[in-house]
Structure 1
Amino acid sequence: MASAPSNGVAEPINSDIGNVHQTGSFRFALVALTSLFFMWGFLTCLNDILIPYLKDMFELNYTQAMLVQFCFFGAYFIVSIPAGHLVGKIGYQKGIVTGLAIACVGCLMFYPSASYASYWMFLSAFFVLASGITILQVAANPYVSALGPAETASSRLTMTQAFNSLGTTVAPFFGSWLILSSLTHNSDPAIEAVHHASTVQVPYLMLAGALCVLAVVFMILKLPVLGIKPTNTPGTSSGSAWKYPHLVLGAVGIFVYVGAEVGIGSFLINFLTQPDIGGFTEAEAANYIAYYFGGAMVGRFIGALVMQKISAGKVLAFNATCAVLLVAVAMFAEGTTAMWALLLVGLCNSIMFPTIFSLALQDLKQYTSQGSGVLCLAIVGGAIVPLLQGIMADSLGIQLAFALPLICYAFIAYYGLVGSKATRPQSV
């Protein structure tokens, strides 16, 4: 198989390969790849279910509970560059299989973590699982971008991300049914620990089986071979991609977007169980997460169509501005008003990641791959922002802690209107 770019989004394919046979092959590949977007969305969303589960099991404060996201999204920062080199050597398809296999190992690690009731073992399992998903991201995102014209890459990525959102929409029902609904508060700590362990083991064994099946399927599939040459990665001697201001600001945009989305999702269950907000049980609150991520799914299908008529920057700024207003309402209102305001932020999130990603990579030419690697590293915002939000929640309260995501969305609005149009350097 042809070597992949060392990281991130690939350079566009040549127009002379767009014949009927290859178009059909590309469509088949896109259909196959949607299963991966679904699966890693599903697995990522389960973190939001497990945070209250682990918080209850180990009697953690908010800061300690957010270490789940710190370990999970920290893997993106640590593994992204090695994953890019790996995919560059073995190709997209083998990279996908490798990512699935490592994610499978991560799911299997939840079994001993629950048996020994060790929070640090759980955190290790999250890191390994996220490492596998990082390799999948590094392989699949550029592959989707390369499967068609460059001018429709944003729309294509948005459409596949919609299936990622489908996974995040289904996951809360799965987690509520198999994990949170069976939580008990037994007076005997030993009995309660055993019950907690069995509650999380079965779901992750099921997920490990599903990942194993997907790995076998992608070993067998014949995906299109794309003639894409690897270019520079972050950290190499040629730092030319860093001379593009719109890329640097885009990396900040990815950082704050992932941080805001993950931060809100991580606190949703605890927010909805507050007596003055929803007063739900944890299992009931988990079901409402589906509205948050379901809104993102619907918005991505709509956004894929809207951005063919309206510039991506304007759509991004509009969504981010709406998110700022909704988070502000959630901070200062009560009851169902605050609840639905926060849940509707999911609809605003819909097009943000793929749109920021695509805008940041515009006009990078031979530095597209390097720039994409920079953006992959910026996903570490999902580790940093929720942890900071946890510290704020412990000191200011959970509602006022949403001031941090509000600031994040304000920057994204700026990027859509101004930052993405920053002057490109004349020569690099």
Structure 2
Amino acid sequence: MAKNKYLFPLILVTSLFFLWAFLHNINSILIPHLKKALELTDTQSSYIDVAVYTAYFIIAIPAGLFVHKYSYKKGIILGLILFATGAFLFIPAANAQSYTFFLVAIFISASGATFLETVANPYVSILGDKETSTQRLNFAQSFNGAGALLAPIIGGQLILSGIEHTPAELKHMSAAQLAAYLQTEANTVKLPYMVIGVVVIVLILLFIFTHIPAVKEDDEAVESHSPGADFSIRVFKNSHLKWAVIAEFCYVGSQVCVGSFFIRYAKFVAGIAEKEAAFLFGFIAMGGFMVGRFAGTFIMKYIDPAKLLSLYAVINILLLIIALTTKGHVALYSLLAVPFFMSIMFPTIFALGIKGLGEETKIASSFLVMSIIGGGVAPWFMGQISDRTGSIQMAYIVPLICFLFILYFGLKGHKIVKRPI
């Protein structure tokens, strides 16, 4: 009976993993769509990702402090309110055809997602038996994989119109025709984001009227703190947290790198057309990512999480070496296999990073969520290498280096050691 009291709250919190994955992965649709609807340059359209990662970096610490002062439940509700607000703001942004307005809406939704991720990851890990915390978090993260798979499919059907005019055709339109076409394109985001907003409001009501257990963190191996103690960077006296932040930074960077440049890589090594490459990545790579989350949860019943993390890091290093040194379908499918072995990395690093932190768990969670900024840094280095060498294939050395850091964390960095800072 004691365990059953956690079941419905756990189901509700697990739904949040799908929600923020949907936010991240719908960007692959929004970027080309808003580029067309608002006549943006490629650089301007990339600000969509910048808005998301900046929100995570800026809001993570305030989110952790808010949750520490109040509660997990209030943090979730505030996050959902921000998420819904951002979704509904897409409607006036589309009416105004204002890219700045869109970016503000995206930033607000991403701020809400930051609250949700800051809360949900540690809450799931402590909502139940301590011995199965990593397994439980990986199971919840499996629904993150489902969101990653479904977002581009649903977004592509509901947002993309399929109408693509050449620059010459646009030039031959009258001012009225062009304005009507662009407004029609901008309007396609209204219905999907209104639906998202309504769904999130339903979740808000469920959380308000559901008893969410105020579970206390395990204070094992943690010094007691008096009320009002400083929970800021002092948390980094825990060496395993420092390495977890580095590892998470590298993981998110590698994940974004592998996906962001895949279509160009497929053309470079195997002459695959962009539509076919997008299909391969969506259904093979992201499908493998989702399956890998569920498979990893099962495998962790028999293999220690840190050992499995190390094994998967080694496999990805080997796959990327093949992807860097061969051509054709061997190189292509080696890279497509990488997301399966990335699947357990974020939740496993997260769970190992907050292990034994007690009351410091909330602020530690904020630092780990902030590390998502790696997704905005690592791809820049890939772009630099590609531009300087003329080889997008050579640029894949960046995620390979990232996996080396993850391997170190799995082998040694995750071990709990307290050091002065």
Asked if 2 retains the 8 angstrom alpha-carbon contact of 1:168 and 1:290, the reply is: no
Deviation by residue 1:113-140 (Cα, 9 ceiling, x = unmatched)? 3444443333322211110001111222
> Which residue in 2 is equivalent to 1:296?
289
> Which residue in 2 is equivalent to 1:279?
273
Q: 2:112 aligns with which of 132, 157, 167?
A: 132
> Which residue in 2 is equivalent to 1:71?
51
> Which residue in 1 is equivalent to 2:41?
60
- Output aligned runs, 1:160-309, within 5 Å: 160-180=140-160, 182-186=162-166, 187-188=169-170, 190=178, 192-227=181-216, 236=230, 239-269=233-263, 271=265, 276-281=270-275, 285=278, 288-309=281-302
Q: Secondary structure at the match of 2:215?
A: coil
> Which residue in 1 is equivalent to 2:3?
23
Aligned-pair distance for 1:72?
Answer: 0.3
Identity %: 38
1:420 aligns with 2:414: yes
> Which residue in 1 is equivalent to 2:353?
360
Q: Distance in 2 between matches of 1:335 and 1:220?
A: 55
TM-score by length of 2: 0.85
Aligned-pair distance for 1:359?
Answer: 1.9
Asked if 2 retains the 8 angstrom alpha-carbon contact of 1:330 and 1:339, the reply is: yes
More displaced stretch, 218-227 vs 312-321: 218-227
Aligned-pair distance for 1:101?
Answer: 1.5
> How many correspondences in the alignment?
404
> Which residue in 1 is equivalent to 2:127?
147
Asked if 1 retains the 8 angstrom alpha-carbon contact of 2:239 and 2:419, the reply is: no
Aligned-pair distance for 1:353?
Answer: 0.7
More displaced stretch, 349-358 vs 269-278: 269-278
> Which residue in 1 is equivalent to 2:333?
340
Aligned-pair distance for 1:26?
Answer: 0.8
Residue identity in the other structure for 2:209? I
Sort the Cα spacing of 1:370 and 1:40 in 2 relative to 1 into closer, same or farther, 3 A.
Answer: closer
Asked if 1 retains the 8 angstrom alpha-carbon contact of 2:231 and 2:360, the reply is: no
Deviation by residue 1:106-164 (Cα, 9 ceiling, x = unmatched)? 12233343444443333322211110001111222222122112221111100100011
Q: Distance in 1 between matches of 2:52 and 2:249?
A: 14
Aligned-pair distance for 1:59?
Answer: 4.8
Aligned-pair distance for 1:77?
Answer: 1.4
Q: Distance in 2 between matches of 1:227 and 1:212?
A: 28
More displaced stretch, 373-382 vs 347-356: 373-382
More displaced stretch, 338-347 vs 141-150: 338-347
Q: CA RMSD in A?
A: 3.1
Aligned-pair distance for 1:384?
Answer: 2.3
Asked if 1 retains the 8 angstrom alpha-carbon contact of 2:270 and 2:327, the reply is: yes
Residue identity in the other structure for 1:188? L
> Which residue in 2 is equivalent to 1:5?
none
More displaced stretch, 147-156 vs 372-381: 372-381
Q: 2:405 aligns with which of 398, 407, 411?
A: 411
> Which residue in 2 is equivalent to 1:32?
12
Residue identity in the other structure for 2:246? V
Deviation by residue 1:157-197 (Cα, 9 ceiling, x = unmatched)? 00100011111111121122223462412512625523431
More displaced stretch, 285-294 vs 144-153: 285-294
Asked if 2 retains the 8 angstrom alpha-carbon contact of 1:277 and 1:339, the reply is: no
Aligned-pair distance for 1:339?
Answer: 3.6
Deviation by residue 1:371-394 (Cα, 9 ceiling, x = unmatched)? 333222222212322344345455
Q: Distance in 2 between matches of 1:192 and 1:337?
A: 43
Q: Distance in 2 between matches of 1:426 and 1:399?
A: 40
Residue identity in the other structure for 1:299? G
Asked if 2 retains the 8 angstrom alpha-carbon contact of 1:326 and 1:342, the reply is: yes
Q: Distance in 2 between matches of 1:125 and 1:397?
A: 36
Q: 2:319 aligns with which of 311, 326, 335?
A: 326
Aligned-pair distance for 1:64?
Answer: 4.8
Sort the Cα spacing of 1:142 and 1:221 in 2 relative to 1 into closer, same or farther, 3 A.
Answer: same
> Which residue in 2 is equivalent to 1:13?
none
Deviation by residue 1:6-37 (Cα, 9 ceiling, x = unmatched)? xxxxxxxxxxxxxx2x3101122212222111
More displaced stretch, 23-32 vs 222-231: 222-231
Sort the Cα spacing of 1:157 and 1:183 in 2 relative to 1 into closer, same or farther, 3 A.
Answer: farther
Asked if 1 retains the 8 angstrom alpha-carbon contact of 2:53 and 2:372, the reply is: yes
Asked if 1 retains the 8 angstrom alpha-carbon contact of 2:300 and 2:308, the reply is: yes
Q: Secondary structure at the match of 2:261?
A: helix
> Which residue in 2 is equivalent to 1:4?
none
Q: Distance in 1 between matches of 2:363 and 2:214?
A: 21
Q: Secondary structure at the match of 2:187?
A: helix
Residue identity in the other structure for 2:16? L
Q: Distance in 1 between matches of 2:97 and 2:393?
A: 30
Gapped runs of 5+ residues in structure 2? 172-177
